[in-house]
A and B are shown apart, each in its own frame.
Chain A
């Protein structure tokens, strides 16, 4: 029987992580559809740690937004409502701000009583999600961590809510 050598195990782990790191970043958010949402770990504006992997088992609405983005402002109260309404069914909204200044984002988040975690985005995160070069971009991630739908730009909120409900109902 073939047994993996214990000496080679660390090398295999290193090679596996290198191949993951070297996997090419998607050139477009749409390329992430039906793929695993890239994992990230960041500190939220409230100082808490946000690890995407910790939300496995929940439906995640990952929204890239900014305070200067008018369509994002229109979505925000809707997302607050959804977070309240669908939380018991397993919805978790996570927001990534692409503002240059975290203070501007922090101020708006507090002013509007945003009820979901908000973190500051950066070049690495934006690239991992297919180059975010226009806002808003919303990713619906299923309970297994796969991107089930992507909404770019001004989207039909009813369509987004239907897709969200379908994911929440799928067990």
Chain B
């Protein structure tokens, strides 16, 4: 049993290593470069309670874009938000560019995903970086520590289904 566990751990480690090596290899690198959500400066984050307050107050509303999986967006989304394309895919970033095309560079934009715990999210980092590259100066990212379900939907913040 012990031997099985050790050999399993070894196989698991090697599999993860090979997977990560494969996804970062040029042959699989059809998507954008991986940018961790943790690279987004803290000053550019917005907390769920703060965004919820903004959305329910009379103050000007930001453009809220979901940059995660489409099924999640279809299941539940922040009230008034739009699907901006998954930030971890090239097609997703193209859609994001198209969505903001022609908007003023100081447009207040909030990006969110919540597919996985914050430090594992593959989507918000590339999406944030792309908007910055395009010259957008007023972009915030919604900090969802665990996921969209736990940190927004089940907290009863403004949502559409």
Contacts and interface: CB of A to CB of B under 8 A. Distances in A.
Contacts of A81: 8, 11-12
A71 interface: yes
A112 B15 contact: yes
Nearest to B151: A134
A62 interface: no
Contacts of B114: 133-134
A111 interface: yes
B12 A153 contact: no
Interface residues of A, number: 32
Nearest to A74: B16
Given A28-B154, A98-B72, A131-B76, A70 B120 contact: yes
Nearest to B153: A133
Given A68-B86, A100-B69, A131 B153 contact: yes
Chain B facing A: main interface SS: helix
Interface residues of B, number: 32
B124 to A, nearest CB: 12
Given A77-B12, A78-B12, A133-B153, A112 B71 contact: no
Interface string B114-139: 11110010110000000000000000
A27 B15 CA distance: 35
Interface of A: 27-28, 66, 68-71, 73-74, 76-78, 81, 85, 98-101, 111-112, 121-123, 126-127, 131-135, 153-154
Contact of A69 (B76, B116, B146): B116
A169 B46 CA distance: 48
B120 A71 contact: yes
Contacts of B8: 77-78, 81
Given A131-B75, A134-B115, 16 more contacts: A68-B69, A73-B16, A77-B15, A81-B12, A85-B4, A100-B86, A100-B89, A101-B89, A121-B71, A122-B71, A132-B71, A133-B75, A133-B149, A134-B147, A134-B148, A134-B149
